[in-house]
Structure 1
């Protein structure tokens, strides 16, 4: 499976579990997201390294859009719910994305060094 598909599927499952168990995306959703970002960055093929830190935030935003809070009916309510969710969950978003980016950079440096030897 592709990086984006795995990120989206597992992040959606984490958001769904958090919504069902605790009433909305919160700590469980954030922990699942950070774990997904870590696993994507560690397991992605070397040719797909740039996709790991990009796929995570897209999956995070889509999970919040689909399962996050809404601020009314219609498209505007979903957009307002998404912006509020992104604002309140920003710590998890930055943590997961930072973990993925750091691992990807470390792997890219290691691959580059192994090719020059």
Structure 2
């Protein structure tokens, strides 16, 4: 007894837990594995038929340049309706007539060359549905420019009519040249369009 008392450490003795028996310390076991997440395999993308990826790549390259700047793709010129062609012919012919009067004091060579240029642009830019508008609007614009800008020998309406007739007679070469040029271009475009339709 004395030896057991001596070997015991001083202080209160530990009381056994309620329930009678000694319980073993709970040792944490290995963590239970989590539920495995089912991963569905991704479906392979169908291979694109034809050169669609190449076409998209070319479109992207044409839209943006090397530095990322947008590049305007070249396209067909803007087509004019019959009204637009008439306005182009009248405004262009009057502009060249006024410029010729300011520079040289009359309707001369500059006016004729400008009329040829206006007829060429009208015939090239008119749309296919309004091809006859180009050779028709040219002579009307030419006569209107002479009536407004040409000198009148007599006052009044009779003077204007005489000035118009004299101006058309003096500049008949420019009038026929511009009208013929527009008619030839329109006829060539019409024949080319019919051949394209037949080949399709």
User: Partner residue of 1:99?
Assistant: 181
Q: Which digits, 9 at most, give the CA deviation of each residue in 1:79-102, with x for residues without a partner? A: 111100000000000000000000
Gaps of 5+ in 2: 1-79
- Distance in 2, matches of 1:104 and 1:17, equals 28
| 2:140 paired residue among 58, 62, 70 | 58
CA RMSD of aligned residues (A): 0.9
- Superposition TM-score, scaled by structure 2 size: 0.57
Q: 3-state DSSP class of the match of 1:73?
A: coil
**Pairwise mapping of residues 1-117 of structure 1 onto structure 2 (< 5 A)?**
2-117=84-199
- Distance in 2, matches of 1:19 and 1:106, equals 35
The answer to which structure has the higher helix fraction is 1
Gaps of 5+ in 1: none
Q: Which structure 1 residue ranges, 4+ long, deviate > 3 Å from structure 2?
A: none
**For the pair shown, which has the larger CA radius of gyration, 1 or 2?**
2
Number of positions where the alignment pairs a residue of Structure 1 with one of Structure 2 = 117
Q: Which digits, 9 at most, give the CA deviation of each residue in 1:2-44, with x for residues without a partner? A: 1101100010011111111111111110000001001111111
- Distance in 1, matches of 2:154 and 2:101, equals 18
